[in-house]
Amino acid sequence: MSYLTQAQIDQFRDEGYLLVEGLLDPVADLDPIIEEYKSVLERLAHDLYAAGTISSTYDDLPFGERVIQIYQESGKVHAQYFDFSLPQGNVKVDTPMWVGPAVFRALRNERLLDAVESLIGPEIYSNPVQHVRIKPPEHLTPKSENGMVQLGATPWHQDNGVILPAADESEILTAWFSLLDAPVESGCLQVIPRSHRAGLLAHCPRPGTGLTIPEALMETEQSVPVPTKRGDVLFLTKRTCHSSLSNVSNSIRWSFDLRYNPIGQDTGRGAFPGFIARSRLNPASELHDADAWAQLWYDARQRLAETEYNKPFNRWSADAPVCA
């Protein structure tokens, strides 16, 4: 079991974040995910090669170098191809995503759920606001038409700020871990300790970067980087201000961004499917079937593609005075 100590729980409550070193086993827990994603990259490479978008499948390159080369030559970051969630709008029947069994096993990892249970209790729902992020070095990443890096540093935000207001009272917990070591130079996360105490802050929609908290609302000089090793897990409250640093290394930064909340609470993105990951009260309600989980996402994709309400949602306005 990997239940947290009272000192760890107190730090999480007081500081708004907690790094648990070595919670996951790099070989048993992370390597199967890496191996599964090799097949995803293989499919992307062959699809782009068949379309004439790239001149080679680059199957002689290691995973990270292959991602960089394919992104560079295609002139596009294919993040959605790897993600185990859907975009917030404009979902089509063929919108790519990856909902493989190794990803599902990561969501249900027992050591991870033990730690989650220490923080939000034993009735655990896997919140569908979840992502994989494979970030190439910024100097090797394609840029958009306006010169912005297509997948660069994540701006300051709170996870509460990117979901709908219905979940403002939900106790949503973020669990972030890197599949490869994530030192400062590769773009690890940075957090502002105790920032969760200020409540939900205003977020401003910014072209090219997404939602951003104006720095005037935060004490960014108090921020601390949180580099991670393979197997470490960083836990954040839903209102902890955080961002990522730029990847100035020569390698990819590869991370999982998972969320959990107590069963019965709103997830903040009701159009997407979550599931019961652990229930001490009703173990029979837990989902253990990876194929059934994948089908939930396929069904959601089909449903969203067929509805007229398939549009991006956002509670924030760029016209707000604080965004001027």
Question: Quick one: three-class SS letters along 25-37?
Answer: CHHHHHHHHHHHH
Distance CA 30, CA 231 (A): 8
* pLDDT tops 90 at residue 149: no
* pLDDT tops 70 at residue 167: yes
| Of 196, 186, 158, nearest in space to 17 by CA | 196
* pLDDT tops 70 at residue 1: no
Q: What tens digit of pLDDT does each residue of 255-307 get?
A: 999 999 999 999 999 999 999 999 999 999 999 999 999 999 999 999 999 98
Phi-psi bin for 258: left (phi > 0), alpha (psi -120 to 50), beta?
A: beta
Quote the tokens at residue 213: 């908290």
Query: pLDDT grade, residue 243 (50/70/90)?
Result: very high
Distance CA 147, CA 313 (A): 25
Specify the pLDDT at position 314.
81
For the chain, the residue count is 324
Specify the pLDDT at position 139.
94
Can you say how many angstroms the Cα of residue 216 is from the centroid of all Cα atoms in its chain?
26
Quote the tokens at residue 157: 């935000």
Q: What tens digit of pLDDT does each residue of 62-93 get?
A: 999 999 999 999 999 999 999 999 998 889 99
CA-CA-CA-CA dihedral for 225, 231, 232, 235, to nearest 10 = 110
Specify the pLDDT at position 324.
82
Q: What is the DSSP letter of 167?
A: G
Q: Look up the domain containing 207 and give its range.
A: 11-23+79-309
User: 235 — phi, psi (to 5°)?
Assistant: -105, 140
Measure CA of the first residue to CA of the last residue in the chain; give whole Å.
49
Q: What is the pTM for the complete model shown?
A: 0.96
| Residue that wins the pLDDT comparison between 210 and 56 | 56
Is 256 part of a structural domain of the chain?
yes
Distance CA 156, CA 200 (A): 13
DSSP string, 99-163: --HHHHHHHT-HHHHHHHHHHH-S-EEEEEEEEEEEE--GGGS-B-TTS-BTT-PPPSB-GGGGS
Is 164 part of a structural domain of the chain?
yes
Contact between residue 213 and residue 156 where contact means Cβ atoms under 8 Å apart:
yes
CA pseudo-torsion sign 215, 217, 219, 225: negative
CATH number at residue 109: 2.60.120.620
Q: What tens digit of pLDDT does each residue of 114-148 get?
A: 999 999 999 999 999 999 999 999 999 998 887 78
Is 67 part of a structural domain of the chain?
no
Specify the pLDDT at position 43.
97
| 33, burial (CB in 10 Å: exposed 0-12, middle 13-18, buried 19+) | middle
Specify the pLDDT at position 152.
86
Specify the pLDDT at position 44.
98
Number of domains the chain is built from: 1
Q: What is the DSSP letter of 170?
A: S
Radius of gyration of the chain (CA): 19
Beta bridge partners of 18: 235
Contact between residue 95 and residue 305 where contact means Cβ atoms under 8 Å apart:
yes
Is 53 part of a structural domain of the chain?
no
* pLDDT tops 80 at residue 310: no
| 78, burial (CB in 10 Å: exposed 0-12, middle 13-18, buried 19+) | buried
